[in-house]
Amino acid sequence: MSKVTVVGAGNVGATAANVIALREVADEVVMIDIKEGVSEGKAMDMMQTANLLDMNTCINGVTNYYEATANSDVVVITSGIPRKPGMTREELIGVNAGIVKQVTESVLKHSPNAVIVCVSNPMDTMTYLIHKISGLPKNRIIGMGGALDSSRFKYYLSKALNANPNEVEGFVIGGHGDTTMIPMKRYAAYRGIPVSTLLDAETLDKVVADTMVGGATLTKLLGTSAWYAPGAATAEVVEAVIHDQKCMIPCSALLEGEYGEKDLCIGVPCILGKGGIEKIVELDLNEEEKALFAKSAAAVHKTNEALPA
């Protein structure tokens, strides 16, 4: 029996739980939230679709009762306040650090062998915080951001190409921030054909720029952070772990010399499987990409300095 816990039953957490259940990634999904009735109500609502959608996963909701999360294979942490229009992810650090610390300690008390997937913002810094407070092996802590940023990159590529999104390949590395992420246009392809041969430089640069502010664009339109794509990206990461898929997905991982960095969580291509991050894939970056990555890493290091002592 496989079990996934989603901490935080807000828009992102509930969407992640719903996608995990609909794709039957795990036998059981537990949603837990601090607000009375929210996770219970959303779990009940989702379970009332089981007959309609031929869904076999069991979804349970609880309020602040971490005993119900015991023996989870994967724990997803979405807890924290979401972005409002005009806010950066970094501005959330003070409040969210305290929440993530408390949640991490609570879930590990009952699921000491779980793989943790961090979604809370600022995501790279919260992932780093979990490493510092948990003492877990580095492979068992995954920051989700690169999976989401890559899905947005592929969306904008497909729009520019007027192509089926499922036939477009592309990924994003670097920090999960509007100025720190690095859409890897050199590796982007449409059915194996390099996108650089199909789009002019100006169009491709616009795709990169739109990707980088993809989250801010949605926050401005919605008045809060997006949730459908973040929830689905989270489910993709969870599925790769639970089903031992050996998928290469960009994720925030703790670097210990890779890409010339150490003591830093930042987005890089990772092979995900039952053990969590089973391998960090080191790309042969060109000089421009190395400079962008170094700049992104410096910004994430600076954000990490704002963590409470």
**pLDDT for 60 beyond 90:** yes
Cα–Cα dist 44/27, whole Å: 16
Name the CATH superfamily, with its identifier, for domain 3-145: NAD(P)-binding Rossmann-like Domain (3.40.50.720)
Cα–Cα dist 209/204, whole Å: 9
- Give the pTM: 0.96
- Over residues 227-248, mean pLDDT: 98
Q: What is the pLDDT of residues 258-308, one digit of tens each?
A: 999 999 999 999 999 999 999 999 999 999 999 999 999 999 999 999 898
Residue 267 contacts residue 261 (beta carbons within 8 Å): no
Number of C-beta neighbours around residue 71 at 10 A:
13
Write down the mean pLDDT value for the chain. Answer: 96
**pLDDT for 90 beyond 70:** no
In three-state form (DSSP H/G/I as H, E/B as E, the rest C), the secondary structure along 7-57 is: ECCCHHHHHHHHHHHHCCCCCEEEEEECCCCHHHHHHHHHHCCHHHHCCCC
Instruction: Specify the pLDDT at position 83.
Output: 64
Domain ranges in the chain with CATH number 3.40.50.720: 3-145
Domain ranges in the chain with CATH number 3.90.110.10: 146-304
Instruction: Specify the pLDDT at position 309.
Output: 72
As a whole-number percent, the residues of the chain with pLDDT over 70 amount to 98
Give just the sign of the alpha carbon dihedral 7, 12, 18, 22.
negative
Cα–Cα dist 70/28, whole Å: 12
Q: What is the pLDDT of residues 165-195, one digit of tens each?
A: 999 999 999 999 999 999 999 999 999 999 9
Q: Which CATH architecture has domain 146-304?
A: Alpha-Beta Complex (3.90)
Select which of 110, 176, 243, 301 is catalytic: 176
176 in catalytic set: yes
